[in-house]
Structure 1
């Protein structure tokens, strides 16, 4: 009888010597370029950022739906104009009523310190929706100076110079 041998798990190619680096950045060496390209391509398939969402919405691109996964109280504080309110806990009940399965969903929550958007994206993906998480959430939407809708109308605050370029324009990324 031949013993069962588990298949080898491929490890990322690295271009490092066996000598540990004193440099904390290079203590773990960078991945090989082809591994890095695959990783970053995958990351872009799962994430977008507030600047790209804002640019698409301002240009009138409607190839996706923006879904806000926060609570009703948070939604009332301010939201992205045109966003759909889809609290995470209610996704299994509301997604089929309000989302078109053929249209990708960009989901967000409060900000980078919150994984609510990740949980919402997971719930939507499990239901068969194409989904991306908007990095930075509503916090960075507001901090970068994009419009916010409330019961009193739409407002736009000045951009925080620590999160967005001062003056007109964009960061160029």
Structure 2
């Protein structure tokens, strides 16, 4: 029987370790971002790169709003260049956070992209601020344990 998985051999362990370490240097997931924001970790700034209407609909508590098109103009006056910026946009089907991360990197900032975006923040049951106040949805058990306890991945 032919294996779809093994039709291309796995990388050697050293190459695999380098690859996965590199990925983690570019990305943070919503649970890690939530944990750092909840703990008040210094040196991390979360940036919502969506439109004004999207920001009003809901955003991460503690995030700064800078639409991607305005990053070059606003970032130098709003964000200390010594921090690590974490960008987010709508979700996995949107590359807005990637575009925002690129804009920050071009300005010389250390930057990571929050994978999953706003969609997975909401689906994991984390609180959201909006023009209508603070709200959250029940945890989607396809994205996180229903108990609300971290999956401890």
Q: TM-score under structure 2 normalisation?
A: 0.97
Q: Deviations over 1:45-80 (max 9, x none)?
A: 000000000011111213200000101111110000
Root-mean-square deviation over aligned CA pairs: 1.1
Asked if 1:150 is matched to 2:130, the reply is yes
Question: 2:11 and 2:95 mapped to 1: Cα distance?
Answer: 27
| Shift in CA distance, 131/32, structure 1 to aligned 2, threshold 3 Å | same
The structure with more radius of gyration: 1
Match of 2:78 in 1: 98
Aligned to 1:75: 55
Give the structure, 1 or 2, with the largest relative contact order (CA under 8 Å, sep 6 or more).
2
In structure 1, the gaps of 5 or more residues are: 1-20
Normalization by structure 1: what TM-score?
0.86
By how many angstroms is 1:99 displaced?
0.8
Runs of 4 or more, structure 1, over 3 Å off, are none
User: 5+ unaligned residues in a row in structure 2: which ranges?
Assistant: none
Provide the aligned length of Structure 1 versus Structure 2: 153
